[in-house]
Amino acid sequence: MDSSTTNDPKMEQDCSHMVKELLPQVDQLVASGQLPAALDQLHALEKKTRAAADLWSTTQLLERIVDICAHAQEWVMLEQQVAAMAKKHAQLKQAITKMVQKAMTYLDQAAEPTRTELIDGLRKVTEGKMFVEVEYARLTRMRANIYEQQGQINKAADLLQEVQVETSMDRREKTDFILEQMRLCLAKRDFIRMAIISRKINQKYFEHEGTEDLKLRYFELMIQYDVHEENYLEVSRHYYAIYTMPSIKADASKWPSMLQNMVLYLVMAPYGNEQVDMLHRIQQDHNLETLPHSCQLVKIFTTMELTRWSVVEQNTDKQVLRDRVIEHNVRVIAKYYLRATIQQLTRLLELSADEVETFISKAVVSGTIYARIDRPAGIVTFAQPREGEEQLNAWASDVNKLLSLVEKTTHLISKEEIVNKIAQAI
């Protein structure tokens, strides 16, 4: 982080020689057990280097204060020293950043609950300061992990959601941080916030090398969300994204389950152009041939033939899939029948009369078929009536075809008569 981003003043005096002279003396005091005296000398010189805006010297002194407290296992003192130094008038921002980073390296050496208290103290120091927002985010994530370990999922999720990850964080770490926010939202079952946070991730980033682990985590989280929301087409797309990952395709123990789930959720998705297109693309995948059940499902939904639910039911019991099979059968009937009785449809669809009406009505509302139900007569008409002009054009076309056939027939008769006359003349 350079001075242009932190607005630190220009150095007025070089105090590095004074620091180099003092540090050995401080080490001797610490070695002899005179910790307060050593800190006093560091504080005295720090005041001068801060006034002189000497960044290197100030940083060296602040880091040495942290080192001394940490090596002495004086964690409370360390927290107090960091807080006090950060509040000093005209304290250099880059020096504060280096001091906090140094203190964070010793967190794992402190035992609980001291470690948690130290994390809380450092979070207070970094809170609201743009130049240490990355450190604040890391500390907050540590604190959220502690809450999660204690079983306080809601607290962990709420705490982590408070952090707005900005561009100063490395892109990989930023993506990882957002994925952690998404995971905790799912754990809390806050699906609305999870969907909002997921939009912060640009999927094009996963095209970069070395991001496959993040890509896998992202799509696994999105699968959980879209399954809950019953967005089955999106679930299928997520499985497809995982399935096409090089590491997954190269592992024979992983890709079959991805392909199987992709097909299952795709046929469970509502009928539409995107769903049909994806089904036909998957049908071209040679790996599908190694999964008989998935191959059968794809064939059923890409062939305009009636399918018995009992055939599919042997391998799955999902109610949604049963509805999709019935909807497929309704589309097949609408394609090949101009009209049919309710009794015929109940036999073909293996449903009651009320269920037949329900599924036909849904198909009409969704716009996938045209149908009109005549309840008194018990007849369903699938042929869409034509408008007057369209009907006249159809009749005219039929008359033209008829005249053309009459003309062709007359020509053939004349030809036959001529052939007979020639034969008789011979």
> pLDDT (tens digit, 9 = 90+) per residue, 117-132?
999 999 999 998 888 9
Q: State the average pLDDT over residues 169-173.
A: 88
Q: 113: burial class by Cβ within 10 Å (0-12, 13-18, 19+)? A: exposed
What local confidence, expressed as pLDDT, does residue 59 receive? 93
298 pLDDT exceeds 60? yes
SS3 325: helix
Q: Which residues contact 395 (CB under 8 A, 6 or more apart)?
A: none
What local confidence, expressed as pLDDT, does residue 2 receive? 41
96 pLDDT exceeds 70? yes
64 pLDDT exceeds 90? yes
In this structure, what token pair is assigned to residue 346?
A: 């109940």
What local confidence, expressed as pLDDT, does residue 3 receive? 40
Paired strand residues for 340: 380
What local confidence, expressed as pLDDT, does residue 86 receive? 92
5 pLDDT exceeds 90? no
Q: State the average pLDDT over residues 291-313.
A: 86
Q: State the average pLDDT over residues 24-35.
A: 90
* Nearest residue to 371 via CA among 362, 382, 361: 382
A 10 A CB-CB count for 424 gives 7
310 pLDDT exceeds 80? no
In this structure, what token pair is assigned to residue 165?
A: 């990850």
The mean pLDDT of the chain is 89
pLDDT band at residue 316 under the 50/70/90 scheme: low
- Show the beta-strand stretches assigned E in 288-351: 339-341
13 pLDDT exceeds 90? no
- Angle at the Cα of 328 (from 323 to 333), degrees rounded to 5? 125
What local confidence, expressed as pLDDT, does residue 6 receive? 57
Supply the pTM of this predicted model.
Answer: 0.81
What local confidence, expressed as pLDDT, does residue 38 receive? 92
pLDDT band at residue 4 under the 50/70/90 scheme: very low
258 pLDDT exceeds 90? yes
